[in-house]
Copies of this chain bind each other. A is one copy, B any other.
Amino acid sequence: MSPTTAQRTYSIRQAASLTGLPASTLRYYESIGVIGPIGRGETSSHRVYTEDDLDLLTSVACLSATGMSVDDMRTYVANGPLGAHAASEQLGLLVEQERRLTLEAEQIALRTTYVRIKIAYWQAVEAGDDARADDLASQARALADDLQKIKKT
């Protein structure tokens, strides 16, 4: 995958825009060892990101966005280049992450339903339709009841 051609490099600003992580967070992750030390320019102290750095940071950004702790990210990144030996630990991390995402998706669906009922409620209030407003208010209450029942299971 890497012939004789030199990899192109990126400034911290470019890296930030490509990974979606703020420059301050890039420096922070490096300072606490989530990612290894980034190379500096020949003549300057400015960070120089390679495409490999960018690939790694993109993965880290994804992990971070789903709520993985910096400790777990550090472990994940440290195990990355180790190959088959670290497979089971990586798997554990990822399966846990998948579980978290599933839960999060359920919560968001619930909140979306609630917000939609509330939108309809305020539209009814604005239209002076008190009967419909009352109905929607009771729908919101019903949703709260459902939530309680689901939680018990």
A108 nearest in chain B by CB position? B105
**Residue among A88, A115, A143, A147 with most chain B CB within 10 A:** A115
Query: Range of interface residues on chain A?
Result: 35 or more
Q: Are B91 and A148 interface neighbours, CB within 8 A?
A: no
CA distance A109 to B81 in the complex (A): 27
Further 19 A-B residue pairs, CB within 8 A, beyond A83-B125, A88-B122, A105-B109? A8-B141, A17-B110, A18-B144, A19-B148, A55-B141, A55-B144, A58-B115, A58-B148, A62-B111, A66-B108, A84-B126, A87-B122, A91-B126, A94-B115, A94-B119, A98-B112, A101-B112, A102-B112, A108-B108
